[in-house]
A and B are shown apart, each in its own frame.
Chain A
Amino acid sequence: QKEVEQNSGPLSVPEGAIASLNCTYSDRVSQSFFWYRQYSGKSPELIMSIYSNGDKEDGRFTAQLNKASQYVSLLIRDSQPSDSATYLCAVRRGGSYIPTFGRGTSLIVHP
């Protein structure tokens, strides 16, 4: 069974700190990895995608992928209260266009 695991949180960090969100997956043939941000009552918004081992940076966001260990993480530098949301990890296996979602991690950035 394909599973994507995330700690539900909440993860609480002070403003300006680095928030680290983690995701593990069980399907070894997974090839595509996505992080979505979802504010309460709103739809998921894609913030990062990563396909190769290593780091990918976009502004304050860095996605890290380690296929050997089957985990993907999202780092948010200089966290802001506006980053407070649920972060969904989604994983897609090779040859499929259907992602599997984790349960999401709730992030709270307090002033």
Chain B
Amino acid sequence: DTEVTQTPKHLVMGMTNKKSLKCEQHMGHRAMYWYKQKAKKPPELMFVYSYEKLSINESVPSRFSPECPNSSLLNLHLHALQPEDSALYLCASSQDVVLAGGQETQYFGPGTRLLVL
């Protein structure tokens, strides 16, 4: 099973709201990622968790707060977002360690379409 699930599929929120995006995988992967993707642009890396510890934060504003409660779950907490934060938010996972030959693969979830009003 190579499935990464994300909820909700769509989210509309006001600039004063607090909401959370959720991601789950049961492939035993130890690296999990949050990406932001705007229309006609490639995915833009936001955060990486490796073995449940935050290993990369790509200078993301503090209104985005990631959390990794366990090895299967990844959350992204949203607070006081701006309209320009409207985008497709993608979760991905991979084995994490560089295996022989480097043949581990990153799998994406279906994404959450976020609209900030």
Using a CB–CB cutoff of 8 Å, the interface residues on chain A facing chain B are: 31-32, 34, 36, 41-46, 49, 51, 86, 88, 90, 92, 94-99, 101-104
Contacts and interface: CB of A to CB of B under 8 A. Distances in A.
Determine chain B's interface SS by DSSP, over half rule. loop
A92 B96 CA distance: 13
Nearest to B110: A43
Contact of B101 (A51, A88, A98): A51
Nearest to A94: B102
Contact of B104 (A45, A94, A97): A97
A96 B98 contact: yes
A98 B42 contact: no
A44 B109 CA distance: 8
Interface of B: 31, 40-43, 45, 48, 56, 88, 90, 94-98, 101-111, 113
13 contacts: A34-B105, A41-B113, A42-B110, A42-B111, A43-B108, A46-B108, A97-B31, A97-B95, A97-B98, A97-B106, A98-B45, A101-B42, A104-B42
